[in-house]
Amino acid sequence: MILRSRSAVVTGSTSGIGLAIARALAKEGANVVINGFGDAGAIEKERAGIEREFGVKAIHSPADMTKPREIEEMVRLGERTFGSVDILVNNAGIQFVSPVEDFPVEKWDQIIAINLSSAFHAIRAAVPGMKARGWGRIINTASAHSLVASPFKSAYVAAKHGIAGLTKTLALEVATHGITVNCISPGYVWTPLVEKQIPDTMKARGLTKEQVINDVLLEAQPTKQFVTVDQVAALAVFLCSDAASQITGTNLPMDGGWTAE
Ligand code: NAD
C-alpha cells in the first residue's frame, strides 16, 4: 500500500477510466474524492464500495467541470475532509464528432472547458497545498489525440494537444517542489465515451457499427486490441510511486502502438 497517507481528487471518476484510477489509488491506501455525473444511487454504491473494499475514505463531489468556482470548491472539499490533496488526476472528458463546418459552437466551448480548462482550474487550486507540503502528483488523462489527429474531432484534438502543453509548462514550474506532472495518453479504451461516439462516427463517415469498431477505432491500434481501464489505472499508480519521482513533464502513450506509426 504505497499511498496510505495520501489523498487524491480524480475528476470524471463516476465512470470509465476515472473510476478505475480512483479505485486503484484507493487500493493503494489513498483517500479519494470521486467526481462526475450519473445516477445518485449508482454513485453512492461506487463510493461506499470503495470505502468497504479498500478501507479508505471516499467522498463524492458533484462539481461541474465547466464551472471554475465548483472546481475550486471540489479541491477545497478534499483538503477540508482529508487534510490535503496530494494527488490530482484531471480526467473528466467528453467527445463530440462532427465536420468542422457543422460543429456546434456550444459543443466546442464545452469540450474546451471540460477537457482542458478544468485541469487549469483544479491545478491552480491544488498546487499551493502541494508546494507547502513539498510533495504532489498531477496526472492528466490526455489521449493519443494529444499527439496525433483524426478528422471530425477538432475540439477534442485541440483540447488534448492543449493539455499536453499545460502538462509540460506546469512540470517546469513546480519541478523543485517535489511535484511531478505528467499526461497519460491512452489509445482507444472501451468505455461509455467510446461507445457513445460510434453512432456519430457512423453518420459522419457513412459506415456500419462493425466498420467503425474495426476499420476506424481498432484500425488505429496496431495491436488490434482496446486498452483496458485497469491498464491505464496501473500506470497512474506507478506515476504516484517514489520510483516515478524523476518522471515529469512527459506524455506517456498507452495506445497499442498507434502513435508509433
Ligand atoms: P466516460 O464517459 O466513461 O467518463 C467520463 C467521466 O467524466 C464521467 O464520470 C462523467 O460523469 C464525467 N464528466 C463528464 N462531464 C463532466 C462535467 N462537466 N463535470 C464533471 N464530470 C464530468 O469516459 P472515459 O472514456 O473514461 O474518459 C475519461 C478520460 O479519458 C477523458 O478525458 C477522455 O478524453 C480520456 N480518454 C479516453 C479514451 C477512450 O478511448 N475511452 C482514450 C483516450 C483518452
Q: CA–CA separation, 127 vs 138, rounded Å?
A: 9
Q: Is 29 left (phi over 0), alpha (psi -120 to 50) or beta?
A: left
Ligand 1 pocket, 196 CB below 6 A? no
pLDDT at 238: 98
Nearest to 150 by CA among 220, 252, 223: 220
Ligand 1 pocket, 186 CB below 6 A? yes
pLDDT at 171: 99
| pTM over cut 0.95 | yes
Does the CA dihedral 247-249-254-257 come out positive or negative? negative
Instruction: Render each residue's pLDDT in the chain as its tens digit; 261 residues.
Output: 999 999 999 999 999 999 999 999 999 999 999 999 999 999 999 999 999 999 999 999 999 999 999 999 999 999 999 999 999 999 999 999 999 999 999 999 999 999 999 999 999 999 999 999 999 999 999 999 999 999 999 999 999 999 999 999 999 999 999 999 999 999 999 998 888 889 988 998 999 999 999 998 899 899 999 999 999 999 999 999 999 999 999 999 999 999 998
> What distance in angstroms lies between residue 176's CA and the mean position of ligand 1's atoms?
31
> What distance in angstroms lies between residue 33's CA and the mean position of ligand 1's atoms?
16
pLDDT at 109: 98
Strand, helix or coil at 114?
A: helix
Q: CA–CA separation, 51 vs 37, rounded Å?
A: 19
Ligand 1 pocket, 109 CB below 6 A? no
pLDDT at 8: 99
The residue to mutate among 33, 193, 195, having the most atoms of ligand 1 within 8 angstroms of its beta carbon, is: 193
User: Could you give phi then psi for residue 90, rounded to 5 degrees?
Assistant: -90, 100
Nearest to 221 by CA among 189, 196, 181, 249: 189
Partners of 180 in the β-ladder? 137
Q: CA–CA separation, 4 vs 30, rounded Å?
A: 5
pLDDT at 152: 95
Give the domains, in start order, of the chain with CATH numbers: 7-188+228-254 (3.40.50.720), 189-225 (no CATH)
